[in-house]
Every structure is written in structure tokens, then in C-alpha cells.
Amino acid sequence: MGVIHRFTGDETAYDWEGVTDKAYQDGDVKGATKKILMGPAEESLNFRMRYFRLEPGGHSRLEQHPHEHGVFMLHGRALVRHGDEEVELGPRDVIFIPGNELHQLRTVGDAPMGFICVVPAH
Amino acid sequence: MGVIHRFTGDETAYDWEGVTDKAYQDGDVKGATKKILMGPAEESLNFRMRYFRLEPGGHSRLEQHPHEHGVFMLHGRALVRHGDEEVELGPRDVIFIPGNELHQLRTVGDAPMGFICVVPAH
């Protein structure tokens, strides 16, 4: 059966029914919240869809790994490092980050920043 | 290198730089537009991220296939059939549709409806 999570959040802090926060303190991470919208609980076999919210001043870990990322910006503004480049992105912009590319997302400005990040399940 | 598509659309018709419409007339489809945000052109190896826009009165094909769908609603309202159930969803609601489940999305009301749909690459 399909699994539905209804939106219950607001413009700066997205939330959904039946979705709980996951721990996201992986090394040098600051001011970040992670929610898994589609993953093992939904019996997704091929990919995972996660929501990340980064506070003003927050950032993800600068990381590099074999799996690719599909990022869809939802709210706020982000400074995204990918490889040797940096780019500022806003709502509804998308970036595909291939495997093994160094990357990091930082909040720009005074509003929290949030995005969807899709990854392979394995 | 990361591949960026900047948002250039409006509230009822999303669009992005570097993304073209794809043909989407697969049998009994009505009033639908498809854009591939992440796929072969972006060298995505594991998943594809597509945007679908359905006009008022539009619908996708009633279909059933082995691959799973991750749907994130963006704008408008949808009546989603999944298996023997029907549910109405609005912006930011999500539904995971497992493989082999019969499904169809229809626009509800007078505004176009749009959503992200993630599928495995293979």
C-alpha cells in the first residue's frame, strides 16, 4: 500500500504526519535537522527522500562519498559547495551532485534553509 | 561536476533553466507535461527526478509496474488512486507508491497541479 505523509509544518520548518526527526550530528554539522520522508519505514527499495532543515548559521558536513545526491531547494537560501565551485541557490532550484564530488550546504541569511535530498537506498 | 537547474517558473507552471519538456502522451494521459530534472542528461546513475504538471481536468495514466514512485506535491490539489484507495493531497504532502501498486493522479479543482516524482534509474 502507498504510504502518505501529510504536510503539517510552516514556511520555515516543514513537518509531516508520521515522520520523526532523525539524529543528524555527523561530525562537523551545525544547526541541522533531518527527517526521512521515504526510506526503510516506507519500504522504499531503491531510493530515500529526506528533508533537511538548516538554521541560520548552520551547515552540513563537508563530505565526499560514492553515492549521488538529488537536491531540490524548498525554503530559504543556500550556499552550496560542489567540487571547487560555490553557488547560491534559492527555493525550487535543483542541483544534482554526482558520486565522489566534495560538497557542503550552508544557510545564507537570517531565515532557516530547507531542502529535499534524494539518495540511493544502497 | 554538479548540475544546477535554476527555477524560472511561476506558482502554477514550474520551469527551470536547462530543462526541456519531454513528450508525455503514454496511452490514456490527459493534459500533462513532463520535465526531467535529474536523469541521463545529469548523469544520474541511480534515480530520476521528474516534474509533472497536470492541467485542470488532467490525469496521468492508470498504471501498474514493478518500479516504485516517490511523489512530493508542489502545487494544486490531486486525487491519487493507489491500490483500492483514493486520497486527496495538497502542496508538500508526500506519497510513496510501492512497486506493482495500481496508481493514477488526477487534478482536483480549477488550478493546475504539479508534483515531483522520483523513480529508480533502472
- pLDDT for residue A10: 94
- Render pLDDT for A6-57 as a digit per residue (tens, 0 to 9): 999 999 999 999 998 887 777 789 999 999 999 999 999 999 999 999 999 9
Q: Does residue B39 carry a catalytic annotation?
A: no
pLDDT tens by residue, chain B, 122 residues: 899 999 999 999 999 999 988 877 777 899 999 999 999 999 999 999 999 999 999 999 999 999 999 999 999 999 999 999 999 999 999 999 999 999 999 999 999 999 999 999 98
> Distance between CA A98 and CA B121 in Å, rounded?
14
In-domain check, residue A32: yes
- pLDDT for residue A20: 85
> Distance between CA A21 and CA A70 in Å, rounded?
20
A41 DSSP assignment:
G
Q: How far is CA B65 from CA B98, B101, B104, in A?
A: 9, 7, 12
Q: What is the mean pLDDT of chain A?
A: 95
In-domain check, residue B46: yes
| Interface check B83 vs A, CB under 8 A | yes
Which cell is A24 given?
543528524
In-domain check, residue A7: no
* Displacement of CA A55 from its chain's centroid (Å): 12
Question: What's the number of domains chain B is made of?
Answer: 1
Which cell is B65 given?
509496474
Helices (H), chain B: none
Kindly name the residue from B82, B117, B119, B120 that is annotated as catalytic.
B117
Sign of the CA dihedral running A104, A116, B49, B55: negative
* Displacement of CA A105 from its chain's centroid (Å): 9
Residue owning grid cell 565522489: A100
Q: Would you call A94 and B70 a contact, using CB atoms and an 8 Å cutoff? A: no
> Distance between CA B38 and CA A104 in Å, rounded?
19
Choose among A42, A80, A98: nearest Cβ to B43: A98
In-domain check, residue A88: yes
In-domain check, residue B10: no
Paired with B121 in beta bridges are none
In one-letter notation, the amino acid at residue B81 is R
Sign of the CA dihedral running B41, B42, B47, B48: negative
CATH (domain of A109): 2.60.120.10
Sign of the CA dihedral running B57, B58, B64, B70: negative
- pLDDT for residue B122: 85
What mean pLDDT do residues A57-77 have?
Answer: 97
- Report DSSP letters for B34-66, one per residue: EEEEESGGGT-SSEEEEEEEEEEEEE---B--S
In-domain check, residue B74: yes
- pLDDT for residue A76: 98
In-domain check, residue A12: no
| Interface check B23 vs A, CB under 8 A | no
Those residues whose C-beta lies under 8 Å from the C-beta of residue B41, and which sit 6 or more positions away, are B3
State the residue range of the domain holding B81.
21-120
In-domain check, residue A103: yes
Which cell is B46 given?
541511480
pLDDT band at A5 (very low <50, low <70, confident <90, very high): very high
Q: Would you call A98 and B2 a contact, using CB atoms and an 8 Å cutoff? A: yes
- pLDDT for residue A121: 95
| Interface check A89 vs B, CB under 8 A | yes
Those residues whose C-beta lies under 8 Å from the C-beta of residue A25, and which sit 6 or more positions away, are A32
| Interface check B103 vs A, CB under 8 A | yes
Largest CA distance in chain B: 43
- pLDDT for residue A65: 96
ipTM over 0.90: yes
Q: Would you call B46 and A38 a contact, using CB atoms and an 8 Å cutoff? A: no
Choose among B14, B42, B70: nearest Cβ to A96: B42
